[in-house]
């Protein structure tokens, strides 16, 4: 160990002189024993540390010394200016306590309070955004020349037309699975004909809107959040502000209207393809004729279920766009925040979609079922 540090008495006081190169490459084979030795030496609070003899030192060396000093600068320390800068940087790092050192018995209350404050912050942010959008809508009604038709059309194409493939595939498969499993049970009771009622009500009223909303939340919602986040990272939003262009009017409102228009159409498309898949499975499993299925469907499913599904889709679409834009505007100008914001946006959107579906189910529990 003599090549790394030396203990001497200077002016009647104990001194430790560190020498050599405190880099990861130089300390690789001796890192653990040297750290243990320095920890033992650091127990002496009166020891003078002289680091001026260190020729080279990188982050690994600084971290090793910082661990030996128990995350506290010694009272008597002498080092080079360039090493002083490295030590200052590590001093500014947050201190993380281990679970054994964590003594706060009220941490569940503290954690719950932080979550409540975060929820309140999101509610205030979304409410503020809604208010700004209402002001923008009133302004555009009074000045129709400024309505961003091109942006609305572009968002309608991206969120609607480009989502037809994935929604059709998932809807068709869900229809086949639901029809196959239901027909197995109905055959036990000789109630094969009621497969039309089960598929019609479940798909048109619930599964169609829910499938479309969840797929759009994962596809289009994440895209909207990422787009606004990248614009924050590349300072495009700041550039729009400098040019006097409203974020909500040119970016958020077209997304909200585009998805609000596209979602009912996607719901109708997804429900139709899911019914097609169910009809194919019913014909293969039960021998139910296609023509009879299509003829009996309007009588088995009241038209109110269709309007309920379309209305649910429109509400979910606008809420997904609103949440996506809210999280997109909250992203900080760094890549880590971009990933976290996009993930939070998708998870929140899907959660809110399920809550909206539950609210619709409770409010309209007596509509379209008789």
In contact, 35 and 64? CB cutoff 8 Å? yes
pLDDT in tens, 200-246: 999 999 999 999 999 999 999 999 999 998 888 888 888 888 888 88
Token look-up 């109110």 returns 304
Cα(326)–Cα(125) distance, rounded to whole angstroms? 7
Q: What was the pLDDT predicted at 324?
A: 94
Query: Which residues of the chain have a pLDDT value below 70?
Result: 1-4, 93-104, 368-370
Q: What was the pLDDT predicted at 289?
A: 84
Q: What was the pLDDT predicted at 2?
A: 53
Q: What was the pLDDT predicted at 189?
A: 81
């Amino acid at each position: 160990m003599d090549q790394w540090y030396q203990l001497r008495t200077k002016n009647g006081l104990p001194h430790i002189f560190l020498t050599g190169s405190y880099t990861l490459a130089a300390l690789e084979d001796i890192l653990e024993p040297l750290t243990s030795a320095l920890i033992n030496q650091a127990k002496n609070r009166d020891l003078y540390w002289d680091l001026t003899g260190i020729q080279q030192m990188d982050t690994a060396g600084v971290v090793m010394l910082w661990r030996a000093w128990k995350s506290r600068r010694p009272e008597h320390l002498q080092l080079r200016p360039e090493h002083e800068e490295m030590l200052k940087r590590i001093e500014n790092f947050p201190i993380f306590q281990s679970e054994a050192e964590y003594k706060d018995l009220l941490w569940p209350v503290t954690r719950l309070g932080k979550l409540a404050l975060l929820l309140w912050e999101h509610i205030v942010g979304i409410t503020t955004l809604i208010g700004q959008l209402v002001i923008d809508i009133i302004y555009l009604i009074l000045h129709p020349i400024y309505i961003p038709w091109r942006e609305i059309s572009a968002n309608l194409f991206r969120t609607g037309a480009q989502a037809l493939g994935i929604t059709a595939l998932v809807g068709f498969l869900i229809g086949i699975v639901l029809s196959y499993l239901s027909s197995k049970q109905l055959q036990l009771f000789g109630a094969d004909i009621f497969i039309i009622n089960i598929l019609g009500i479940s798909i048109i009223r619930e599964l169609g809107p829910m499938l479309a909303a969840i797929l759009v939340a994962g596809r289009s919602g994440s895209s909207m959040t990422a787009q606004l986040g990248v614009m924050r990272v590349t300072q495009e939003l700041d550039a729009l502000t400098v040019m006097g262009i409203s974020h909500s009017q040119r970016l958020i409102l077209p997304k909200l209207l585009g998805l609000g228009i596209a979602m009912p159409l996607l719901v109708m498309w997804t429900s139709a393809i899911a019914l097609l898949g169910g009809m194919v499975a019913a014909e293969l499993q039960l021998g139910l004729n296609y023509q009879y299925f299509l003829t009996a469907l309007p009588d088995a499913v009241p038209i109110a279920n269709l309007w309920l599904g379309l209305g649910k889709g429109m509400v979910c679409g606008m809420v997904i766009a609103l949440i996506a834009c809210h999280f997109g505007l909250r992203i900080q100008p760094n890549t880590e925040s971009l990933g976290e914001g996009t993930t939070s946006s998708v998870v929140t959107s899907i959660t809110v979609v399920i809550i909206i579906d539950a609210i619709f189910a409770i409010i309209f529990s007596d509509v379209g079922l008789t």
